[in-house]
Structures are given as C-alpha cells and as structure tokens.
Structure 1
C-alpha cells in the first residue's frame, strides 16, 4: 500500500463587508476574506495538501485565479474537484490535520459543522478531519485582523 503526505497553506486578506467562509461554512463576523473565489482559506489549504501529496501541483494550477470560471466559486466545489483528481490518480484521503490562524472570531463553536462539511465531501468520517484554531496573540497581520491563514496536512493512501 502506498502512503503519501502533503502539506498546504493559504493566506487571505480580511475586509469589512465580505462574507467569512471557513471550512465550507459561513462564519458570522464583521470581516470576510478577499479572494477570486469565496476565499475559504481552510478548504484551499486542504486542496493544496491533497494535490501536493498526489504530486499534482497546487490549487493555482488546477483552479487559476485568472479564470472567470472560478470567480466567486464555492470552495466546496474546488474540494470536490480536488477529491476527484486524487481519486483519478488512485488515492483516497486517510485523514486531515489543519490549523486556522485568526484573531477573531472564535472558531471552536463552528468546528463540528466544518468537520461535517469536509468529511461529507471527501467521503471520510468527522473523526478523520482535525481542525484547530489559534490566534497570533495580536502579533502581525493576523493579530491586527488584516488577514487569515490556514495550514493543512493530509495523508493519502493508494487504493
């Protein structure tokens, strides 16, 4: 059996009057992420980790921000398409470990919904989707609430 690991990271600027999509769900907040798609940093980091583990490049290769096809797209669709890409290569997701870095809002109440959304798309259990969150103790652009960052590690196995 082949086992492969991948890591992903994504950054997005935060701005007033935008929706904040994280882990496939809308999180109430006064600021939201700016991006070509819905700017869901967590799903983007997971996509990058999956693609990296399968040696398929990155999210920008498959879903470029220069393409109008992806303008405003729901990142859950990107995750679905990424899942198909890795399945076409003969892999499936074993588990995900991820971390969101943002000063506000507090993420803990939303984690179960995020886990359900991600697990449902990938056909894995919520116990296979770890989502943690941390602040940067008011340091840097994350601490000043100018941006949000997500990191993800994904383990794939050959099927």
Structure 2
C-alpha cells in the first residue's frame, strides 16, 4: 500500500456584505470571505492538501483565479473535481483533519452540518473528516476579524497490488 500525506493552508479576507461560505454551507453573518470563487477557505485547504498528497500541484494550478470559468463558483464543485482527479490516479482518501481559525462567528455549532455536506461531496464517511475551530485570542488579522484561515492535513492511499520495497530492495 502506498500512503501519502498532504498539507494545505489558505486565507481569505473578510468583508462586510459578502456571503460567508464555509465547509460547503452558508453562514448567516454580516461579513463574508472575499475571493474569486465563493471563497470557502475550508474546502480550499482540503483541495490543496489532497492535490499536494498526490503530487498534483495546488488548487490555483487546476482552478486559476484568473479563469472566468471559476468566477463565483461553488467550491463544492472544485472539491468534487479534485477528488475525481486523485481517484483517477488510483488514490483513495484515508482521512482529513482541518482546523479553521476564525474569531467570529463561532462555527462549532455548524461543524456537524459541514461534515455531512463535505463527506457526501467526497463520498467518504463523516468519521474520516475532522473539522476543528479555534480563535487567535483576538491576535492578528483573524483576531481583528479581518480574515479567516485554515490548515488541513490529509492521508491518501493507493493499493496497487505491488509489494513496496525498502531502499535495499526488500
């Protein structure tokens, strides 16, 4: 079995009057994330981590923010395309661990709905997706409510039937 780990990081500015999409769901808040797509930072880090684990570059390479096709696109579509791409290379998702840093709004009450939504998009068990929330104790751009950031770590695997050999050929 070939096991790979990927890491993703993303940040989006928050602005008044923008819609706030996070984890595939729309949050009711007076600020939202700014971006070329729907600016769902949680989905973007998952895409980046999956692509990185499969050595397929990053989200910007596959879905450029200069491409009008992706202007305002629902990030769940990008996630679906990313998962299809890694699966076309023979990989499956082992698990995903995401941390979102956001001062306000509090997202803990929304995590079960986010997990349900994203697990369905990726066709994985909800138990294979961990979403955690934190604040920065009012420090930095997150603490000043100027932005949101997220980190993700993923494990993917490929079962190709071949024995994996160590450096000595065993």
CA shift digits 1:23-81 (9 cap, x unpaired): 00001111000000000000000000000000000000000000000000000000000
CA distance in 2, matches of 1:120, 1:63: 21
Partner residue, 2:109: 109
Partner residue, 2:75: 75
Partner residue, 2:121: 121
Partner residue, 1:62: 62
Query: Runs of 4 or more off by more than 2 Å in structure 1?
Result: none
Partner residue, 1:14: 14
What root-mean-square deviation, in Å, do the aligned CA atoms of Structure 1 and Structure 2 show? 0.6
Partner residue, 1:25: 25
5+ residue gaps, structure 2: 160-170
Partner residue, 1:144: 144
1:123 offset after TM fit, Å? 1.1
Partner SS, residue 136 of structure 2: coil
CA shift digits 1:70-114 (9 cap, x unpaired): 000000000000001101111011110000001001111100010
CA distance in 2, matches of 1:76, 1:129: 15
Partner SS, residue 39 of structure 1: coil
CA shift digits 1:121-156 (9 cap, x unpaired): 111111111000000000000000000001101100
Partner residue, 1:98: 98
CA distance in 2, matches of 1:94, 1:124: 9
**Higher Rg of the two aligned structures:** 2
